[in-house]
Amino acid sequence: MSSNLLHTEGRWFVDAEGRVVILRGVNVAGNSKVPPFVPFTDVSLLDPLVKWGMNVIRLILIWEAIEPQPGTYNDEYVAAIETLVNGAGDRGIHVILDMHQDMFSRYLDNGCGDGCPSWAIDPAIPQDEPSNDERCLQWYLGVRDSNVLRAFESFFANVNGSRDHYIAMWAHVAKRFAGNPWVIGYDLMNEPLGDDVSQVAPLYEDVGTAIREEDPDGILFIESSILSAMGIASSQLPPLSLGNYAYAPHFYSASMVINDSFEKSEADRAFATFQSRLDELGGVPLLLGEFGMPPQKTSVSDYISDIYGRLDECFYGGTQWNYTPGWNPVDFDGWNKEDFSIADDRGNLRANFKVRAYPQRIGGTPAKVEVDHHRVYMEWRSQPEVTAPTLLYVPVDHMFGGKQYEVVQDPSVACELDVENRRLTCTTSGEGTRWVEVRER
């Protein structure tokens, strides 16, 4: 029997009871990209995520930390990651292990990248001293850096066996976490820079095969080239032959970054592209692996509300970038002066995140969900074979602020609201469309 708590069925993440699971959470953490690479060691810092309704984290791993020398693994680092995984699991939070890189390595892109160890860089390419300061504010321009491009080309060509090492490193990680039920899967490479068809997809096939030899039930999360996340190119990623996988694209608003204004047409195009790619992939689940914006942006609330509204409409999962407990007003997220953390140095939420109701587990097929500040409404098609209850995260304290509210439901549905734990539990029987609503009275 599988130890994994979730698997994919068509376009859904599904639990052992047959319920559709909607994954919502954050990336942990912005400061994982630089030494000591472990974002924090106090697992109690994960406590707020439960209160905020999150049931998943995308946990950042760094190849340089795992394999500091070729074939030599730093299992102290892996053990520290395992501590965070177990801490998340103790709180009922699923974990996606994300092998993170930006512009290949912190020894490239003028010292502003992260991810791959220096020994994995083609020796013919000159290396930079790591910077991680104000010089790195526009690190993403590395997509045009000739040395970054050469490093990826050499990696995909397996110069000095770097691609082989990457695959073996992933197998080492998967072996460590294969028996941990809270690790639901593996994001095979963050924002790769390469051709989706001839370079990225073959890497995913090989890495996925190696992972499956250690963890046959792990969900594989695959991303297109970073150019699609930037809106520069459309994804061409073909279907993965291994099954039990999900598409995990990213979306950042270029208009917000450049002009501090949110243009909904941008998101329209991005989400239409997501659906098109899902159709090409044969109808698999989608988890929006990264989205977010600094809280100082003028339109940040509109942007965040719009993205979550689209996730609700499509029943997509999502992990916002990011939650960094080590955030401070000088170093910000701790990497390249980025400032995306949803919480400040006192643990208070910032303007780039709002606590929001959503369905977490659905005893049937989701049909509709509508959420605003004072209401949540959901319809689903009940399936008699699914007897476990439907669960919604409903933070009535945030939604109603002391005002009167009520729970109304279809006559075939019985619901109970746990105000303290912000959970609405609904049971039903038979089949057909069911609905429930929590609204201001």
CA–CA separation, 144 and 189 (whole Å): 19
Q: How sure is the predictor about 257, in pLDDT bands with cuts at 50, 70 and 90?
A: confident
In eight-state DSSP terms, residue 82 is H
CB 120 within 8 A of CB 165: yes
CB 355 within 8 A of CB 398: yes
Domain span(s) for CATH 3.20.20.80 in the chain: 6-356
pLDDT in tens, 53-87: 999 999 999 999 999 999 999 999 999 999 999 99
CA–CA separation, 233 and 226 (whole Å): 9
Q: How sure is the predictor about 402, in pLDDT bands with cuts at 50, 70 and 90?
A: confident
Task: Please provide the DSSP assignment of 313-367 as one string.
Answer: HHT-EEEES---TT-BTTTBTSSTT----SB-TTS-B-TT-----EEEEESEEEE
| CATH superfamily of this structure's domain 6-356 | Glycosidases (3.20.20.80)
Angle of helix 300-314 relative to helix 264-280, nearest 10 degrees, comes to 30
pLDDT in tens, 127-185: 999 999 999 999 999 999 999 999 999 999 999 999 999 999 999 999 999 999 999 99
pTM: 0.98
Query: How high is the mean pLDDT of the chain?
Result: 96
The mean pLDDT of 254-265, rounded to a whole number, is 89
Domain span(s) for CATH 2.60.40.1180 in the chain: 364-440
Query: In whole angstroms, how large is the CA radius of gyration of the chain?
Result: 21
CATH of domain 364-440: 2.60.40.1180
